[in-house]
């Protein structure tokens, strides 16, 4: 993954890629969801209501005449079943109303539903940005993920799951996927329903020339973004075996690599660090995490060519 987008034309737009309205099991109407995020300074969201027959297979895309705010049509799709017997949950952003639903009437396991390999491939080929959701909450395994041939990302953080049951991370599954040799980006999301305070805890910062559905989706598919709970990346440079990180003030910068490999710097109000990548013995992949004084994190997408 290249990080040339930090120097590309455009600006960073803040967005939530996973949330629900009263078109499925959320509390608020779609317009109210949008208003809540606008008031918090977000530039775009996707309302990903549960794509089930019990909710009439919604693809929620309210028509808003609000300047400088974008709603990407999307849904959270389901099919049966994972290795542990749980229902699959898959995000698809940029989905249109012509997409044929899988045979999944409700949240119950259905032996006649579409298999995940076929569903995820159909979503990808339909032009959607496809992401696996809340892997820790689902109990997702590496073997589960290998059934999915085409996807763009996996949630490294899901705020609702972190709040409700302390199962909001995706780090362990992500690293297994990367160690296996599969390339996959990451996203941080809210999964907001607004029944509790489950919003505004995880987001993506997408670099794009314009704040439009088409431009944002293209940037997401190209990996031109980072994920955050608070801190910001200013630039990432990899050159001649060295990695330079520029960021907002943080307490720790961590570079994680294959297996258990990692290197880090720790210093109060640190805004930059340079790492010797020769200290990571197997040059297969790396990713960067920054942590601020309040314990909030931000994550880069994995880097493969360095």
| Percentage helix, strand, coil for the chain under 3-state DSSP, each rounded to 5 | 20, 35, 45
Contacting residues for 138 by C-beta, under 8 A, at least 6 apart = 82, 84, 86, 89
pLDDT in tens, 4-46: 899 989 999 999 999 999 999 999 999 999 999 999 999 999 9
* CATH code of the domain containing 223: 3.20.20.140
**Residue that has been written with the tokens 């980006």 in this structure:** 185
Given a cut of 90, whether residue 203 has pLDDT beyond it is yes
Contacting residues for 47 by C-beta, under 8 A, at least 6 apart = 19, 20, 21, 23, 30, 33, 34, 60, 61, 62, 71, 74
With beta carbons less than 8 A apart as the criterion, state whether 201 and 229 touch.
yes
Residues 70 and 161 occupy one common structural domain: yes
Q: What's this model's pTM, rounded to 2 decimal places?
A: 0.96
Average pLDDT of the chain to the nearest whole number: 95
Residues 239 and 102 occupy one common structural domain: no
Band (pLDDT 50/70/90 cuts) for residue 2 is: low
Domain boundary, last residue among 228, 258, 284: 228
With beta carbons less than 8 A apart as the criterion, state whether 258 and 179 touch.
yes
Residues 90 and 159 occupy one common structural domain: yes
With beta carbons less than 8 A apart as the criterion, state whether 71 and 64 touch.
yes
Please indicate, yes or no, if residue 45 is contained in any of the structural domains. Answer: yes
Segments forming the whole domain that contains residue 265:
233-299
Residues 167 and 82 occupy one common structural domain: yes
State the Cα–Cα distance between residues 91 and 120, nearest whole angstrom.
10
Please indicate, yes or no, if residue 306 is contained in any of the structural domains. Answer: no
Phi, psi for 14 (deg, rounded to 5): -90, 130
State the Cα–Cα distance between residues 298 and 175, nearest whole angstrom.
16
Residues 139 and 255 occupy one common structural domain: no
pLDDT in tens, 142-195: 999 999 989 999 999 999 999 999 999 999 999 999 999 999 999 999 999 999
pLDDT in tens, 276-290: 999 998 889 999 999
Domain boundary, last residue among 177, 210, 228: 228
Residue 211 confidence (pLDDT): 97
């Amino acid at each position: 993954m290249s990080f040339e987008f930090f120097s590309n034309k455009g600006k960073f737009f803040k967005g939530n890629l996973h949330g629900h309205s009263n078109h499925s099991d959320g509390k608020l109407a779609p317009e109210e969801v949008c208003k809540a995020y606008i008031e918090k300074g977000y530039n775009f969201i996707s309302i990903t209501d549960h794509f089930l027959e019990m909710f009439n297979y919604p693809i929620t895309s309210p028509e808003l005449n609000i300047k400088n705010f974008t709603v990407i049509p999307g849904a959270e799709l389901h099919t049966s079943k994972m290795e542990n017997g749980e229902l699959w949950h898959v995000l698809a952003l940029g989905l249109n109303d012509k997409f044929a639903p899988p045979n999944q009437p409700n949240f119950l396991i259905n032996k006649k539903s579409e298999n995940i390999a076929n569903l995820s491939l159909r979503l990808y080929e339909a032009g959607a940005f496809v992401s696996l959701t809340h892997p820790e909450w689902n109990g997702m395994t590496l073997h589960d993920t290998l059934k999915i041939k085409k996807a763009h990302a996996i949630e490294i953080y899901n705020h609702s799951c972190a709040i409700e049951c302390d199962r909001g991370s995706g780090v362990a599954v992500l690293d297994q996927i990367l160690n296996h040799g599969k390339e996959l980006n990451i996203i941080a999301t809210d999964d907001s329903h607004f029944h509790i305070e489950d919003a505004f805890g995880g987001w993506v910062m997408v670099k794009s020339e314009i704040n439009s559905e088409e431009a944002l989706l293209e940037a997401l598919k190209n990996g031109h973004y980072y994920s955050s709970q608070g801190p910001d990346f200013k630039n990432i440079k990899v050159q001649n075996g060295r990695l330079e990180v520029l960021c907002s003030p943080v307490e720790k910068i961590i570079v994680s690599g294959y297996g258990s490999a990692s290197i880090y710097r720790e210093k109060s109000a640190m805004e930059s660090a340079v790492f010797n990548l020769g200290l990571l013995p197997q040059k297969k992949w790396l990713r960067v995490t920054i942590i601020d004084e309040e314990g909030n994190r931000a994550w880069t997408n994995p880097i493969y060519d360095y």
